[in-house]
Amino acid sequence: MSVPIDEVQTIEIVIVDDEKFVRGALRTYLSQTKDLVVVAEGENGEDAIRLAREHRPDVMLIDLQMPVMDGVTAIRHIVAQNQEIGILVVTGHISDIHLKAALLAGAGGYVVKDAEPERIVAAVRDVHAGDCPIDPAVAHLLIEDLRGSRPVTRGDQNIELTEREEEVLKLLCDGRSNSEIAAELYLSESTVKYHLVRLGRKFSTRDRLQLVVTALRSGLVS
């Protein structure tokens, strides 16, 4: 059956953010267009997983830091259950670390909360269309991070380490705990854990001790 010319194909949306006023603002932005319809709201990661299952929306707007369950963990669960749902991270974090964690979990886009309403609306449509919109405020950090990486030789392998990963690794080899590394580098402990997971994957190690031994043997850390 053909669709009438004047009939608009709607994009169903779920908003998940622990701040009520943020959810309200996002709903207001989206409700001003005919093609975007908010079908449900949640305030934590567990809500996000449940609402994804109940509503099967076209796009979900998800914050990263929320109580009960964080956004990255929720995104990972949602993508594992339904890859048809487009996920747009809407967050206050202007950080390449958060950006990469979200994209690795399966997010399809990343914008900051104080972006212009038009940018957020456009990002929703882009994610639904299969594009990957990334807020310029964060994208340039990612580019700088990639430019700052350098190859580290381990046997016959070349492993790319960022400057931040080197800092974390050196402090780890000094015997520092996650909290001590976080304090030294002015990072959160969750960010330190993220770097350690990335380092473990790059060096193919299973735990902290093996990572330290491998780093020392590679000559990266004296």
Per-residue pLDDT of the chain (222 residues; tens, 9 = 90+): 444 545 668 999 999 999 999 999 999 999 999 999 999 999 999 999 999 999 999 999 999 999 999 999 999 999 999 989 999 999 988 777 788 888 888 898 999 998 889 999 999 999 998 888 888 777 766 655 555 555 554 444 567 788 888 888 888 888 888 888 888 888 877 788 888 888 888 888 877 777 887 777 777 665
Residue range 167-203, pLDDT digits in tens:
888 888 888 888 888 888 888 777 888 888 888 888 8
pTM: 0.65
| Cβ-Cβ contacts under 8 Å for 51 (sequence gap 6 or more) | 14, 16, 40, 42, 57, 60
- Tell me if 178 sits within 8 A of 189, measured CB to CB: yes
126-134 CB contacts, 8 Å cutoff, 24+ apart = 127/59, 127/86, 127/87, 127/88, 128/11, 128/58, 128/59, 128/86, 130/86, 132/103, 132/108, 133/88, 133/109, 134/99, 134/109, 134/110
* Residue 90, H or E segment: strand 86-91
pLDDT tens digits, one per residue of 34-52: 999 999 999 999 999 999 9
